[in-house]
Amino acid sequence: KRGALSAARLGDEVNPTKESSGSQFYIVWGKVYKAAELKQLERQMKMQQEQNIFNALAMERREEIMNLRRNRDRDGLMELQEKLGKMAIEKSKELGNPAFTPEQVEAYTTQGGTPFLDGGYTVFGEVEEGLDIVEMIQQTKTARGDRPVDDIEMRVVVMA
């Protein structure tokens, strides 16, 4: 949700275990969502869950797929793809549909945030005062790499 302090990390393609950075963080800003937008995100999350399961199943059968490709067996590939697709849908049903909790819906529809980042980053704190300052920082003009044109100095108080 807006104001969450989260650990940055490298992208999934170079960091498949999603290890957090030990020295960089970000403050979530995002936007305020409508309930219908969150429902659409849930549908996208379901599709992504099915795709991830399909990809994992395909990796388990990589050798079989490579043999079918080497033999130019398109029918066999299509049959296997269909089979893996059905298996992915069934496994996804067993796991249940990804959904936002009522508390998340409340936060995203009133305060805002970045729900598409949920579950992918380590959240270790929250801005309790000064969200207006965070908004000013968020609106700062940036250059290459999304770095502010002018450095922004911060004084942060960590409360236990």
pLDDT of amino acid 12: 84
SS (H, E, C) the chain: CCCEEEECCCCCCCCCCCCCCCCCEEECCCECCCHHHHHHHHHHHHHHHHHHHHHHHHHHCHHHHHHHHHCCCHHHHHHHHHHHHHHHHHHHHHHCCCCCCHHHHHHHHHCCECHHHCCCCCEEEECCCCHHHHHHHHCCCECHHHCECCCCCCCCCCCC
Smallest Cα–Cα separation from 121: which of 49, 20, 28, 30? 20
Q: Residue 33: how many CA atoms within 13 Å on its side-chain side? A: 23
Q: For 103-153, what is each residue's pLDDT tens digit?
A: 999 999 999 999 988 888 999 999 988 899 999 988 999 999 888 999 988
Averaged pLDDT of the chain: 92
pTM: 0.75
Assess contact for 25 and 5: CB atoms under 8 A.
yes
pLDDT of amino acid 29: 93
pLDDT of amino acid 16: 86
pLDDT of amino acid 156: 78
The span from the CA of 21 to the CA of 23, in Å, is 6
CB atoms within 10 A of CB 39: 14
Q: For 20-70, what is each residue's pLDDT tens digit?
A: 988 888 999 999 999 999 999 999 999 999 999 999 999 999 999 999 999
